[in-house]
Structure 1
Amino acid sequence: MRHARDVLDEVVRQLPPRPRTEVEQRLRVLDARYLARTLPDPFAARRQWRSDLWWRRRLAGGREAG
């Protein structure tokens, strides 16, 4: 999930305004589901990967890769 969300974030930033808005609307729904199914990672700031991205600061209980 994390790698896929990283890729989506990069793609969204490169889209023209109208398609970007459409994709962002769909992502909000999926992001809400992910937030509901994961917990905050209390050690996210210490990790080497991009802890500035909110989905990188979540714990999924080992049910995902990335």
Structure 2
Amino acid sequence: MLEQVLQELPPRPRLELKRQVVFLDAAYLGRTLPDPFAHHRQWRSDLWWRRRLADGEEGG
């Protein structure tokens, strides 16, 4: 959804939002681990944040 929003925004707001998204993505990736069983879960395993584990719990 954010990718669609970023594509529709004018250049300056797009850059500001993109910076925030990149920062938050990096923070989340730094605090989670890959979930080796993500492809077995019922929810859509193609969503990258649902393939991560945070403190032993499912990410997302």
Q: Normalising to structure 2: TM-score of the pair?
A: 0.68
In 1: Cα distance, 2:17 partner to 2:28 partner: 16
If you compute each CA radius of gyration, which structure gives the higher value, 1 or 2? Answer: 2
Equivalent residue for 1:43, pick from 37, 40, 45: 37
- Pairwise CA RMSD of aligned residues? 2.3
Q: Secondary structure of 2:17's partner?
A: helix
Q: Hey, which of these two has a bigger chunk of helix by percent?
A: 1
Following superposition, which runs of at least 4 residues in structure 1 exceed 2 angstroms of deviation?
Answer: 14-22
Equivalent residue for 1:16, pick from 3, 9, 17: 9
Equivalences, count: 56
Q: Secondary structure of 1:59's partner?
A: strand
In 2: Cα distance, 1:42 partner to 1:51 partner: 11
Q: Hey, which of these two has a bigger chunk of strand by percent?
A: 2
